[in-house]
Chains A and B, each alone.
Chain A
Amino acid sequence: MKIGGTPTQTDFHEAISARSDRWYSACLKITRNPDLAADAVQDALLNAWNKRHQFQSSARLDTWIHSIAVNAALGLLRKSKPGIFEPLDTDVESNTVRPERAWEEHELESELARSLGGLTEIERVCFVLKHLEQWRVKEIAAELKLNEGRIKQAIFRAVKKLRMSMQSMKREIDG
């Protein structure tokens, strides 16, 4: 995988062949929408291509594109559902699956992906950014324009819900 120097067209093709499933997966976990995830990766690739001369010599091309894709996914999610990260008056725990989710879950097959669908938007995005993308709470708070306390609360609730769904998955397998 390319490390350092200005990446060439071939480097991009190699990165797509080797890592695009990971970029797409990360974007899919954030957006839960295959079209938005695909758009996010494409936007990231074109962005990276246009800015390839700024590519840091110590970085890996695929991780650089990955981080641009995650940001693009957050941008597209925000654009498609304005105000989704805005705090509500009563930020209560909810287990309700909304109609759009039911549709999305039908499209996504894995049990784990389905368990992410049981989270609210903010819980899911915070969980993915913190635990799968290794962002700091401070960075997530800055990106989502929320205070750190709310981010920690969302991550805590996400983990709690995901543990519960994993337990029920395990029971189904064992039983």
Chain B
Amino acid sequence: MDKKLDKLIAAHEADIHAAPAHVVQQWHSAIDEAAALERGRVPAPAPRWHPTSFFWGMAVTAALAIGIGIGFFVTDGNGPPAGSQGPMVASTTPQSEIVPAAFTRGLQVHLRDSRQQIASLDQGADRTTLVLQLIEQNRMFETAADQNNAPKLARVLRAFEPILLQLAATDIAPEDAEALRAQLAFELNVMLTKLASESSDDSQTT
């Protein structure tokens, strides 16, 4: 290996970008949350019929089925043909995400329900069980957002998970739980407002 290449590599090796402080803090918190969740892991709840969870289970399933179905339909109908070699504009430029309306509606329902459930959370194992259910639903929507070519939306949904995990921990202090609930309520409101304004923009332009 020649000296110039050594120099080049050494320069790149030494070129370290410091991660933003809030991101580093987020990594520390992620480990704390994972550890807390492990310590406070509750046994899986006995299956019980609950009108709310049954309704939302159905709603989530229906929204996902419609969203994914439309996603496949749109891709099959308008996407580049298989084996296309040319550069694709959609994958090389920052894009505004076009999400099927049915998926957006399903997501709005999920977010509203989450907001309502978080507002009425009790302390204890029931709270943990309920939050873990919300996490599961959130993951399903995150997967569906990815499948619907909406990575930004998937990312936002992914960002809810660390907060929900903190809230699911059984050893969390009541004041911390309250702060997390307030934070989640705020984030959910922001997202619902954004989704509502985007869907009204769509209906005006179509």
Contacts and interface: CB of A to CB of B under 8 A. Distances in A.
Contacts of A103: 94
Interface residues of A, number: 46
A38 B23 contact: yes
Interface string A8-22: 010011001100111
B11 interface: yes
Contact of A112 (B15, B35, B91, B151): B15
Given A38-B19, A45-B27, A163-B8, A81 B34 contact: no
Interface residues of B, number: 33
A166 B30 contact: no
Interface in B121-149: 146
A34 B24 CA distance: 13
Interface string B1-27: 000110011011101111110011011
A100 interface: yes
A174 interface: no
B155 A49 contact: no
A83 interface: yes
Contacts of B187: none
Given A21-B19, A82-B91, A41 B27 contact: yes
B176 to A, nearest CB: 18
A42 B16 contact: no
Interface of B: 4-5, 8-9, 11-13, 15-20, 23-24, 26-28, 30-32, 34-35, 85, 88, 91-94, 146, 151, 155, 158
Interface of A: 9, 12-13, 16-17, 20-22, 24-25, 28-29, 34-35, 37-39, 41-42, 45-46, 49-50, 79-84, 88-89, 98-100, 103, 108, 110, 112-113, 116, 131-132, 159, 162-163, 166
